[in-house]
Amino acid sequence: MAAPSAFILLLVPVLASMAATGTASFDVRAELNHPYAGSPLSRSIYTLTVGVGTPPKRHTLVHDTGSDLVWVECKLLGGAATPTDPLYDPGKSSSFAAVPCDGKLCREGEFESKNCSRNRCLYTYAYGRGRTVGELASEVFTFGVHHKVPTTLNFGCGSLDKLSSVTQLQIPRFSCCLSPYTDRKSRHMFFGAMADLSRYRTTGPIQTTSFLNNRIGSNIYYFLPLIGISVGAKKLSILASSFAGTFIDSGYTIGALTAPALDALEEALADALKLPRRSSSDPDYDFCFQLPRGVPMEAVPAPPLVYHFEGGAAMVLPRESYLAEPRPGEMCLVIGVDAQPVIGNIQQQNMHVLFDVQNQKFSFAPTQCDQI
Query: Is residue 208 included in any domain, yes or no?
Result: yes
Residues 217, 89 share a domain? no
Domain end marker among 143, 162, 181: 162
Whether residues 140 and 266 share a domain: the answer is no
The answer to whether residue 5 sits within a structural domain is no
Triad 140, 142, 148: Cα angle to 5°: 140
pLDDT of 317: 97
pTM above 0.95, yes or no: no
- What letter does residue 90 receive in the DSSP assignment? G
Q: What's the pLDDT at 228?
A: 98
Which CA distances in Å does 223 have to 65, 107, 162, 208, 226? 11, 25, 27, 14, 9
pLDDT at 267 over 50: yes
Least reliable range by pLDDT among 74-78, 110-114, 236-240, 251-255: 74-78
- Answer yes or no: is 181 within a domain: no
Looking at residues 20-37, what average pLDDT do you find?
Answer: 55
Paired sense of beta strands 351-356 and 323-327, if any? unpaired
Domain shared by 212 and 120, yes or no: no
> What integer best gives the mean pLDDT of the chain?
80
Neighbouring CB atoms inside 10 A of 191's CB total: 25
The radius of gyration computed from the CA coordinates of the chain, to the nearest angstrom, equals: 21
Residues 6+ apart with CB under 8 A from 289: 273, 275, 276, 277, 278, 330, 331, 332
Predicted local distance difference test score (pLDDT) of residue 85: 64
Answer yes or no: is 174 within a domain.
no
pLDDT the model gives residue 334: 94
Q: How far is residue 372's CA from residue 355's CA, in Å, rounded to a whole number?
A: 18
Task: Judge if 126 and 233 occupy the same domain.
Answer: no
Whole domain around residue 347: which residue ranges?
199-366
Which one has a higher pLDDT value, 162 or 371?
Answer: 371
- What are the helix (H) ranges across 148-290? 259-273
For the chain, what percent of residues have pLDDT higher than 90? Answer: 40
pLDDT at position 84:
59
Q: Residue 51: which of 11, 97, 88 has the closest Cα?
A: 88
Domain match, 101 and 213 both: no
Question: Are 90 and 234 within one domain?
Answer: no
* CATH number, domain containing residue 129: 2.40.70.10
How do residues 206-224 score in pLDDT, each as one tens digit? 999 999 865 544 456 789 9
**Structure confidence at residue 227 (pLDDT):** 98
8 Å CB contact between 342 and 331: no
pLDDT at 367 over 70: yes
Asked if residue 225 belongs to a domain, the reply is yes
Residues 21 and 112 in one domain: yes
Out of 24-33, 86-95, 100-109, 309-318, least confident range: 24-33
* Cα angle for residues 217, 144, 368 (degrees, 5° grid): 80
Same domain, 24 and 110: yes
Residue-wise pLDDT tens digits, 140-196: 888 776 667 777 888 878 775 433 322 334 467 789 898 887 776 667 788 888 899
CB-based burial of residue 180 (10 Å sphere; 0-12 exposed, 13-18 middle, 19+ buried)?
middle
19-23, 155-159, 241-245: which range is least confident on average? 19-23
Q: Which residue has the higher pLDDT, 263 or 14?
A: 263
Torsion of CA 20, 25, 28, 33, to 10 degrees: 30
Q: Examine residue 189 and state whether it is found in any structural domain, yes or no.
A: no
- Say if 122 falls within a structural domain: yes
Q: pLDDT by residue (tens digit) across 269-282? A: 999 999 999 998 78
* Tally of structural domains, the chain: 2
Decide if 217 is inside a domain. Answer: yes
Name the amino acid, one letter, at 11: L
